[in-house]
Each structure stands twice: as structure tokens, then as C-alpha cells.
Amino acid sequence: APHRGTETCAVVEAMASLEQAFAVLGDPSLADRLEALAFNALPAALTADMWTHVYVQQANSVFAGSTKPSVDPAALRHHGLHHGHAERADIQRRVFGASSA
């Protein structure tokens, strides 16, 4: 249905879990499932340059991006998948001319 989708975080968490399960159990079917996610579900959530991602991906979505790119200041403070505080501070400085305090 067009109103249902999968969060990008769910894909990444599933990949991490499958990787750990494969390392412990050695079951090749787990590696196959990991590979399927890595080559199908993950790229569907990313833009072509792999710089940004969509929050929820949908099977019928034909575009993972924005037709009018913009910078959302709240995204620079998000602590989900983004870990690089130094990178966020640099982006914030360049975009807004302010410190990341």
C-alpha cells in the first residue's frame, strides 16, 4: 500500500543484526539475507551520491530525494544514524555561519 514503508534505520539495524548472527552461527543463509538487504533495501533509501537518505522508503517510491533540496537545521542536530559531531559542526558553520554550540 502507498502509505506503508520501512524506516532506513530498520534496514541498517537488520543488516547489523544479520552480520552479528552470521559471525556467531556461520549460517550462510544469514549472509545471503544480509547481501539482499545491502544490494536492494539499503540503496533504495539513499540518494545517488549516498550523501542523504529518506526516513521511510516505500516499494512504490521512484525517487529517494527532493526535487527542491534544502537544508533542515533540525537534521544537523539529529542523533540517529548520524554520528560525526565534527562533520555536523563543519556543515553548520558553512551553511549558517554559526558555531555548533
User: In the predicted model, what is the mean pLDDT of residues 37-43?
Assistant: 86
Mean pLDDT (the chain, rounded): 73
Contact 15, 31 (CB under 8 A): no
> pLDDT tens digit string along 13-28?
999 999 999 999 999 9
pLDDT on residue 101: 47
Find out whether 81 and 12 touch, Cβ atoms under 8 Å.
yes
Q: What is the pTM of this model?
A: 0.56
Could you give the CA distance from residue 11 to residue 1 in angstroms, rounded to a whole number?
19
Q: Which of 1, 11, 2 is nearest to 54 (CA)?
A: 11
CA distance 18 to 29: 10
Whole-angstrom Cα distance, residue 53 to residue 82? 11
pLDDT for 26 = 95
CB–CB of 46/58 below 8 Å? no
User: What are the helix (H) ranges across 26-77?
Assistant: 28-36, 42-44
What is the structure's pLDDT at 45?
81
